[in-house]
Amino acid sequence: MTASIRIAGRVAFVLKGYPRLSETFIAQEILALERLGLEILIVSLRHPTDRTAHPIHRQIRAALLYLPEYLHQEIVRVWRSWRLSRRKAGYSAARAAWLSDLLRDPTPNRIRRFGQALVLAAELPDDTDHLHAHFLHTPGSVARYAALLTGLDWTASAHARDIWTLPEWEKRSKLAEAVWIVTCTEMARRHLAGLTSRSDAVWLCYHGLDLDRFERPPLRSARSDGSDARAPVIILSVGRAVAKKGYDDLLEALAFLPPDLHWRFVHIGGGGLAAALKLQAERLRLSDRIEWRGAMAQPDVLSAYREADLFVLASKIAQDGDQDGLPNVLIEAQSQRLACISTDLSAIPELIEQEVTGVLVPPGNPIALAEALERLIGDPAQRARLGAAGERRVRRHFSMEEGIGVLAARFGLGTVASRQASCDRPVLPIIEGAAWIGQESSQMECVSPSMRR
């Protein structure tokens, strides 16, 4: 297999759900690739559950194909697809791969993935030349089985949960069969690259930020230091209420703050733990200081960034091994000149340099988090310094165009692709404050468009 491909027709992007408020980075990628000339079919394994959508979703022109979310609900469609797919030359290979996986993972989900792949293979438009999965776990399995059925190549974008909770045997299988895989952090790239002998299998592709949608914020005037009850410091966090986001730790940290320190906490995001977190806040007697806004569209989130004084994300490793990669909300917050507190976990230090562009504390440590919160709440000058430095770094090294350049090259789009395709190996990024082994300077002969993040 080669590390890059030339796409003449349409690429089917296999997503777990579409549209989703929590996956703006996927929508911005699809829109950018469309504008570069890539014809895309969006294949969704689930129907949308969010009550609203971001404006960017309305700008995407791609056609949509929804697969059966549960096979028994569309049994005739699945049966018809099986009748068609079993005549394909790749059916025996796909069935063998699926049965091998099923022996290791005998779950209803594994059966559902093969059924969805049968429908995808049967209903895929004739002009589809390639499959690309966003997330290596469920969408990656559907894309893999469908690729075997149809004889098409497939690729994938790996992100966070799909990397850290997927068993090693499955990651190795997919790395062996996918033409290439991109992932959004250097930490994840190294992990996946260590599971394959192919030097061209895994590429770094940061999501970056669409700076056209996140314009420069207005200069922040002198802000509260928490001493005046009429002007409390506004603490913001954006993220799903799930274990790896560490909101239980954040609530504990807020409870440790001195009672005469004046602040308000605003949370934006859905998630299954929302009710439990509200009960925890009541137990800690914090409810009157907290505003739970739920999931919101991007313009409302942007307004919240601009109104806040401090951004906090207490990421940690969940019991099932799930963890963040590099949360996009941290990049968004820094683009709005917000001082950020987060944890020294996963790829977060690839963005935040300690005490230069933000503050990092150990994950799962509410006391350390409380100390950082108290210090920055009481020091608006330090917040302003960190916020300004964070914004400069984001705008210099984390623009969306760099990551889109990597994907454009992988998909063979334009002159950027021609330059990238001439490289014979993935290129590690230069990251301020860190020296990556094997990377000498930003003036290498083959330089990845996402080299500095």
Q: Are 49 and 206 within 8 A, CB to CB?
A: no
For the chain, how big is the Rg over CA atoms in Å?
23
Give pLDDT tens digits for 373-408. 999 999 999 999 999 999 999 988 888 888 898 899
Banded model confidence at residue 450, pLDDT cuts 50, 70, 90: very low
Amino acid (1-letter code) at residue 22? S
CATH architecture classification, 233-397: 3-Layer(aba) Sandwich (3.40)
pLDDT at 38 over 70: yes
Residue 33 CA, distance from chain mean position: 17
pLDDT of residue 222: 63
Question: Can you give the pLDDT at residue 435?
Answer: 26
Tell me, what's the pLDDT at 21? 79
DSSP H or E run through 169: helix 168-177
Q: What is the reported pLDDT for 444?
A: 26
pLDDT of residue 325: 87
- Of the pLDDT bands very low, low, confident and very high (cuts 50, 70, 90), residue 421 is very low
State the pLDDT at residue 297. Answer: 87
**pLDDT grade for 427, boundaries at 50, 70 and 90:** very low
The per-residue pLDDT for 126 is: 93
Residue 439 confidence class, pLDDT cut points 50, 70, 90: very low
Question: Which helix H or strand E contains 177, and what residues bound it?
Answer: helix 168-177
- Residue 206 pLDDT grade (very low, low, confident, very high; cuts 50, 70, 90): confident
Amino acid 227: pLDDT: 96
User: What are the residues whose beta carbons fall under 8 Å from the beta carbon of 106, sequence distance 6 or more?
Assistant: none
Tokens of 112: 């559902």
pLDDT(419) > 80: no
Annotation: CATH topology of 10-204: Rossmann fold (3.40.50)
Mean pLDDT score, 333-341 = 96
Domain ranges of the chain: 10-204, 233-397
CB-count burial class (<10 Å; 0-12, 13-18, 19+) for 373: buried
pLDDT in tens, 166-183: 999 999 999 999 999 999
Strand partners, 11: 40, 130
Region 26-34: what's the mean pLDDT?
92
Residue 50, φ and ψ in degrees, nearest 5: -70, 145
pLDDT (average), residues 259-280: 97
* Own/partner long-range contacts of 389-392 (Cβ < 8 Å, ≥24 apart): 389/356, 389/357, 390/333, 390/334, 390/337, 390/338, 390/339, 390/340, 390/352, 390/357, 390/358, 391/216, 391/217, 391/334, 391/335, 391/336, 391/337
Residue 449 has what pLDDT? 28
Question: Is the predicted pLDDT of residue 56 greater than 80, yes or no?
Answer: yes
Q: What is the per-residue pLDDT for 7? A: 57
Token pair 């799903």 in the structure block, residue: 240
Strand partners, 182: 157, 203
pTM: 0.76
233-397: same fold as 10-204? yes
Band (39; pLDDT cuts 50, 70, 90): very high
